[in-house]
Structure 1
């Protein structure tokens, strides 16, 4: 167990060294420092309680007195690389699980990529063990298999279970909307980079899929604003000198839900005119198209007010009219080519992942503390829906990020229905930013593998600032269906060679 420091001492001494400060200001600072000290003692007591069962290292940050991280260094999945796993603890009753893997190539130089699954309510360990992590789980769920196409081939990887009570995360309360969830992610990154400073200056990328099309733009905004000193609370302003700029280079969103107003328009077309086979008859698709204007008006109202009274009705009606007809066919909503199988989210492998992550030896090795791991928590999904988060326009976070030079890749497997490539491509073309006309005027070009075979289509600005990539033969989870193409995509994107 390692305590980094008593964080209040340096702050108090700094205040007293400036005689021009007024008495009231010093008093306020002392009160803040006493609050910090109490927080450290509280976390220390909690930490000792945990340490009775297992040994952890623990770290704090002066700008976030209610946060701490405790961690271990396991060797599961890919023993050849350094790993860190543990929890971000918040106010003693919120605990977010994370798992970090160093790059297999040059960990001191390669970038660091954060991965987030969506839902809302689904564990990012789905991405780890089913899609792009250093290993996959075997069918029996009692062992792992090394993944040669892992995204840590040329990038360190960081998986985070958020929001609260997703995957191995646990606690009371928690966020019910994307904005609050992003604040926890930013605090976690500050603590992580403060404790593991060897990674703090690396290029940093945020990636994910599905409802992460909400999460990622907002996380990008949170990082970008704080990097520019536009802090959201007084505490962060007071301790701004302790906040390290996060070297955010890009965002990658796969089959995401980012702009519902545009994307919902394409459900009928994807159901009847996708590249593989019609799922619905033409009459049903025509009926979906006829229902869409009413859906669009509700989403527009949500975009205008962003309050739950406008946004919840939009989600209820639009999902009923545009998604439910497809679901009633029994076809996999994440892949128009297949029926929905008995496993979690229509994939049998997710049952194997759950079996593995519920093993006592696995939980002990990585420090996981939940009684039962589940790939998705539908209560979280329900709470975000009830809060009206589903239909909110997080697409509006994208233009300011592009204008500030944050590169953004929108990619989509062309067999996914629920966040299909048609709708995703459409919103990239409609995005209101300074280079909209330029992007719309570009041509889609063939995206080929090393053998010269076409594996998709890409449209990208010449400088690689904004790109849309269609991946052939992949459903909702591109790295699962096309692992080699997904790794090629990542490597080309990180080296700004996708355009």
Structure 2
């Protein structure tokens, strides 16, 4: 089998790490490490330097990728399933984002992926702590990797990662103004993001009904369950709202015969999950939304060859071993919206991009558009007056792959034929979007 240069480099580095005990790979290919963001809280990061035949990494942007969950691992799922140089089988990915940018994967919140905490009270319980932890990591990263301080830096995210990205971006903007973090922050991109959870839940029924996945009875059932979530959110009972969100997902599955929340055109036999004996709804949601990011083959890869390559992973740390605790500790914050944070970013002049997959259910586009239309940003009326522009699918010239519109520092991409994980479903279109956002021709 003929291997790509990326695959050959990976194997060489793996051999070096395993045989010589090195914790840092060859310069200008990759780097990784841990940052102690709080006492007993250790956050793992993994950097791929841009690998472009036409440009040096210093002439290309730096992108930090934040996974969802909370509890999903960027170093694992985002890297090997979505945008990294190699796929889960260690074969080259043609649509890797590393060809257009240096990519920094961070396993956050603490306890996600290879990140870990030494004690039970070390987990984050809200996005404020998540943002605070990330600021510690970013200060360390840009101080020790000073060659990245002037390179345009973007935060890209997916799912719950978008909620964290919004909060992190706001704190980063403040830190840069105060001089505590030195970097060239160029913008944040929120992909299928959990910015306004209630808007997502309240549009599940209408979306499924218009796509022929619910009948009248099912629509009533889903709307009733969603209404209970709304009551809890409006009463500021956010832990209860998280449980009722789980109940609503069960109602959706029962009425659609197990629709896949991440792509409505797919259905898997194990999608119809029910409570096990002695299990609560939070544990059920961990199975639904965290375990799917830690499939058996990916776990074997991360806890096998990748662990050996990285060398620095403590012996008592298992990739994904604390993911359930990450999710359960964030349950009280899960259903809280951060629309006001997006407003603050826009008003501060930060470049904000929304992108969403047409076939996503859990964060459907209908719900995204609802909260966008409630923004208080003064540019919103002008944005709303614009018509969108069709974008050709790079893999199928002449066929529309997405729609786009933007005004000043706000943009929206509607990605067609994609579900929740856009880079996995529509890799070429996602790569083109990256280049457009980072202003590459």
> Normalised by the shorter chain, which TM-score bucket?
0.7 to 0.9
Compute the displacement of 1:400 (Å).
1.5
Deviates further, 373-382 or 219-228 = 373-382
Q: How many angstroms apart in 1 are the aligned matches of 2:73 and 2:343? A: 28
1:85 alignment partner, SS class: strand
2:326 alignment partner, SS class: helix
Show the counterpart of 2:123. Answer: 174
Conserved in 1, the CA contact under 8 Å of 2:80 and 2:88?
yes
**Closer, same or farther: CA 444–283 of 1 in aligned 2, 3 Å:** farther
2:382 alignment partner, SS class: helix
Normalising by structure 1, we get a TM-score of 0.74
Compute the displacement of 1:291 (Å).
4.8
* Counterparts of residues 212-361 of structure 1 (less than 5 Å): 212-229=161-178, 243-274=180-211, 278-302=212-236, 310-321=237-248, 323-328=249-254, 329-340=257-268, 350-359=295-304, 361=305
**Closer, same or farther: CA 341–252 of 1 in aligned 2, 3 Å:** farther
Compute the displacement of 1:335 (Å).
1.1
Give the paired residue count.
393
Show the counterpart of 2:33. Answer: 86
Give the unaligned 5+ runs of structure 1: 1-52, 57-71, 139-143, 230-239, 303-309
Query: Deviations 1:73-127 (Å, cap 9, x if unpaired)?
Result: 236xxxx951101111245622111100011122012110000101011111200
1:180 alignment partner, SS class: helix
Show the counterpart of 1:133. Answer: 84
Query: Deviations 1:48-89 (Å, cap 9, x if unpaired)?
Result: xxxxx9867xxxxxxxxxxxxxxx3236xxxx9511011112
**Closer, same or farther: CA 404–168 of 1 in aligned 2, 3 Å:** same
Q: How many angstroms apart in 1 are the aligned matches of 2:343 and 2:440? A: 19
Larger Rg: 1
* Counterparts of residues 134-153 of structure 1 (less than 5 Å): 134-138=85-89, 144-153=90-99
Match of 2:357 among 385, 393, 413: 413
**Closer, same or farther: CA 218–92 of 1 in aligned 2, 3 Å:** closer
Q: How many angstroms apart in 2 are the aligned matches of 1:408 and 1:90? A: 26
Give the unaligned 5+ runs of structure 2: 1-18, 272-286
Conserved in 2, the CA contact under 8 Å of 1:332 and 1:341?
no
Show the counterpart of 1:38. Answer: none
Show the counterpart of 1:488. Answer: 432
1:433 alignment partner, SS class: coil
Q: How many angstroms apart in 2 are the aligned matches of 1:296 and 1:342? A: 28
Compute the displacement of 1:496 (Å).
7.4
Compute the displacement of 1:129 (Å).
0.3
Q: How many angstroms apart in 2 are the aligned matches of 1:128 and 1:336? A: 24
* Counterparts of residues 62-101 of structure 1 (less than 5 Å): 72-74=23-25, 82-90=29-37, 93-101=40-48
Show the counterpart of 1:141. Answer: none
2:265 alignment partner, SS class: coil
**Closer, same or farther: CA 96–147 of 1 in aligned 2, 3 Å:** same
Deviates further, 422-431 or 249-258 = 422-431
Compute the displacement of 1:475 (Å).
1.0
Conserved in 2, the CA contact under 8 Å of 1:114 and 1:157?
yes
RMSD: 2.5
Whether 1:401 and 2:335 are equivalent positions in the alignment is no
**Closer, same or farther: CA 244–372 of 1 in aligned 2, 3 Å:** closer
**Closer, same or farther: CA 92–290 of 1 in aligned 2, 3 Å:** closer
Show the counterpart of 1:432. Answer: 376
Conserved in 1, the CA contact under 8 Å of 2:143 and 2:182?
no
Compute the displacement of 1:372 (Å).
2.6
Q: How many angstroms apart in 2 are the aligned matches of 1:202 and 1:89? A: 25
1:157 alignment partner, SS class: strand
Query: Deviations 1:344-371 (Å, cap 9, x if unpaired)?
Result: 8686993221111111x43132122354
Compute the displacement of 1:395 (Å).
1.6
Q: How many angstroms apart in 2 are the aligned matches of 1:482 and 1:145? A: 18
Show the counterpart of 2:73. Answer: 123
2:36 alignment partner, SS class: strand
1:84 alignment partner, SS class: strand
Compute the displacement of 1:289 (Å).
2.7
2:87 alignment partner, SS class: strand
